Protein backbone atom coordinates (compact mmCIF):
# COMPACT_ATOMS: atom_id res chain seq x y z
CA UNK A 1 0.00 0.00 0.00
CA UNK A 2 1.49 3.31 -1.04
CA UNK A 3 0.51 6.65 0.39
CA UNK A 4 -0.55 9.18 -2.21
CA UNK A 5 -1.60 12.82 -1.77
CA UNK A 6 -5.22 12.68 -0.65
CA UNK A 7 -4.91 8.94 0.09
CA UNK A 8 -5.67 7.81 -3.49
CA UNK A 9 -3.61 7.21 -6.63
CA UNK A 10 -3.54 10.02 -9.17
CA UNK A 11 -3.12 13.72 -8.61
CA UNK A 12 0.26 13.39 -6.94
CA UNK A 13 2.07 15.04 -9.87
CA UNK A 14 -0.24 18.07 -9.74
CA UNK A 15 0.10 18.21 -5.98
CA UNK A 16 3.91 18.08 -6.02
CA UNK A 17 4.20 20.63 -8.84
CA UNK A 18 1.74 22.90 -7.03
CA UNK A 19 3.64 22.73 -3.75
CA UNK A 20 6.95 23.36 -5.54
CA UNK A 21 5.57 26.33 -7.50
CA UNK A 22 4.02 27.88 -4.40
CA UNK A 23 7.13 27.26 -2.33
CA UNK A 24 9.50 28.79 -4.88
CA UNK A 25 7.17 31.74 -5.44
CA UNK A 26 6.89 32.42 -1.70
CA UNK A 27 10.65 32.08 -1.25
CA UNK A 28 11.27 34.64 -4.00
CA UNK A 29 8.56 36.93 -2.61
CA UNK A 30 9.91 36.97 0.93
CA UNK A 31 13.49 37.20 -0.35
CA UNK A 32 12.48 40.50 -2.01
CA UNK A 33 11.23 42.08 1.22
CA UNK A 34 13.67 44.07 3.33
CA UNK A 35 12.84 45.12 6.88
CA UNK A 36 13.87 48.51 8.21
CA UNK A 37 12.92 50.25 11.41
CA UNK A 38 10.54 53.15 11.51
CA UNK A 39 10.65 56.13 13.85
CA UNK A 40 7.64 55.39 16.07
CA UNK A 41 6.47 52.17 17.60
CA UNK A 42 2.94 51.25 18.57
CA UNK A 43 3.44 51.81 22.29
CA UNK A 44 5.95 54.69 22.24
CA UNK A 45 3.67 56.75 20.00
CA UNK A 46 0.87 56.30 22.55
CA UNK A 47 3.09 57.95 25.17
CA UNK A 48 3.67 61.05 23.06
CA UNK A 49 6.68 59.88 21.06
CA UNK A 50 5.48 61.62 17.91
CA UNK A 51 7.91 64.51 18.29
CA UNK A 52 9.80 65.23 15.11
CA UNK A 53 13.52 65.18 14.49
CA UNK A 54 14.47 62.74 17.26
CA UNK A 55 13.45 65.08 20.07
CA UNK A 56 13.10 64.28 23.74
CA UNK A 57 9.54 62.98 23.33
CA UNK A 58 10.72 59.79 21.68
CA UNK A 59 13.57 59.17 24.15
CA UNK A 60 11.31 59.70 27.16
CA UNK A 61 8.60 57.41 25.80
CA UNK A 62 11.13 54.64 25.16
CA UNK A 63 12.27 54.87 28.78
CA UNK A 64 8.65 54.52 29.96
CA UNK A 65 8.41 51.29 27.98
CA UNK A 66 11.40 49.83 29.85
CA UNK A 67 10.09 50.64 33.36
CA UNK A 68 8.07 47.41 33.91
CA UNK A 69 11.00 45.27 32.79
CA UNK A 70 13.41 47.25 34.97
CA UNK A 71 11.25 46.96 38.10
CA UNK A 72 10.55 43.27 37.43
CA UNK A 73 14.26 42.45 37.11
CA UNK A 74 15.00 44.34 40.34
CA UNK A 75 12.29 42.30 42.08
CA UNK A 76 13.67 39.03 40.70
CA UNK A 77 17.19 39.82 41.89
CA UNK A 78 15.81 40.67 45.32
CA UNK A 79 13.70 37.49 45.63
CA UNK A 80 13.24 35.13 42.69
CA UNK A 81 10.08 33.62 44.25
CA UNK A 82 8.03 36.84 43.99
CA UNK A 83 5.17 36.31 41.55
CA UNK A 84 4.65 40.03 40.92
CA UNK A 85 8.30 40.33 39.83
CA UNK A 86 7.90 37.48 37.35
CA UNK A 87 4.68 39.03 36.05
CA UNK A 88 6.29 42.46 35.60
CA UNK A 89 9.32 40.94 33.88
CA UNK A 90 7.15 38.98 31.44
CA UNK A 91 4.93 42.02 30.78
CA UNK A 92 8.04 44.14 30.22
CA UNK A 93 9.45 41.64 27.72
CA UNK A 94 6.10 41.50 25.89
CA UNK A 95 5.85 45.31 25.74
CA UNK A 96 9.40 45.56 24.44
CA UNK A 97 8.72 42.85 21.83
CA UNK A 98 5.58 44.61 20.60
CA UNK A 99 7.48 47.91 20.40
CA UNK A 100 10.33 46.39 18.39
CA UNK A 101 8.01 44.53 16.00
CA UNK A 102 5.78 47.58 15.48
CA UNK A 103 8.80 49.68 14.48
CA UNK A 104 9.67 47.33 11.62
CA UNK A 105 8.67 48.52 8.18
CA UNK A 106 8.73 46.15 5.20
CA UNK A 107 10.03 47.48 1.88
CA UNK A 108 9.30 45.48 -1.23
CA UNK A 109 12.11 46.12 -3.71
CA UNK A 110 11.58 44.17 -6.91
CA UNK A 111 10.92 44.77 -10.60
CA UNK A 112 7.26 44.65 -11.62
CA UNK A 113 7.80 41.72 -14.00
CA UNK A 114 9.42 39.70 -11.22
CA UNK A 115 6.58 40.57 -8.82
CA UNK A 116 4.00 39.34 -11.34
CA UNK A 117 6.01 36.16 -11.91
CA UNK A 118 6.18 35.49 -8.16
CA UNK A 119 2.46 36.06 -7.67
CA UNK A 120 1.61 33.83 -10.66
CA UNK A 121 3.83 31.09 -9.24
CA UNK A 122 2.20 31.31 -5.82
CA UNK A 123 -1.36 31.44 -7.19
CA UNK A 124 -0.73 28.76 -9.83
CA UNK A 125 0.88 26.45 -7.30
CA UNK A 126 -1.99 26.87 -4.85
CA UNK A 127 -4.46 26.29 -7.70
CA UNK A 128 -2.76 23.04 -8.73
CA UNK A 129 -2.57 21.84 -5.13
CA UNK A 130 -6.27 22.54 -4.56
CA UNK A 131 -7.16 20.96 -7.92
CA UNK A 132 -5.41 17.73 -6.89
CA UNK A 133 -7.52 17.59 -3.71
CA UNK A 134 -10.79 18.46 -5.45
CA UNK A 135 -10.26 15.84 -8.16
CA UNK A 136 -9.42 13.32 -5.45
CA UNK A 137 -12.62 14.24 -3.58
CA UNK A 138 -14.71 13.81 -6.75
CA UNK A 139 -13.09 10.41 -7.40
CA UNK A 140 -14.00 9.30 -3.87
CA UNK A 141 -17.64 10.39 -4.36
CA UNK A 142 -17.84 8.55 -7.70
CA UNK A 143 -16.31 5.40 -6.18
CA UNK A 144 -18.74 5.50 -3.25
CA UNK A 145 -21.76 5.94 -5.55
CA UNK A 146 -20.73 2.94 -7.70
CA UNK A 147 -20.51 0.66 -4.64
Asked whether residue 6 carries a pLDDT value surpassing 70, the answer given is no
Dihedral in degrees, nearest 10, Cα atoms 120, 121, 125, 126: -50
The CA-atom distances, in angstroms, between 101 and each of 8, 40, 46, 47, 112 are: 44, 11, 15, 17, 28
Q: For residue 5, what pLDDT is reported?
A: 56
How far is residue 91's CA from residue 77's CA, in Å, rounded to a whole number? Answer: 17
Q: For residue 72, what pLDDT is reported?
A: 94
Residue among 95, 106, 101 at smallest CA distance from 61: 95
pLDDT tens-place string over residues 70-127:
999 999 999 989 999 999 999 999 988 888 888 888 888 889 999 999 999 999 999 9
Q: For the chain, which residues make up each domain, given as ranges? A: 22-141
Sign of CA dihedral 103, 104, 110, 116: negative
Q: For residue 34, what pLDDT is reported?
A: 83
Amino acid sequence: MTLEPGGRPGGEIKFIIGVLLSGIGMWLFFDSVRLTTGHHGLISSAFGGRGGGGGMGQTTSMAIILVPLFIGVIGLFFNVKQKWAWALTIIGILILSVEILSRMRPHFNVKASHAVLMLVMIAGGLGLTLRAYIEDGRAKINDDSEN
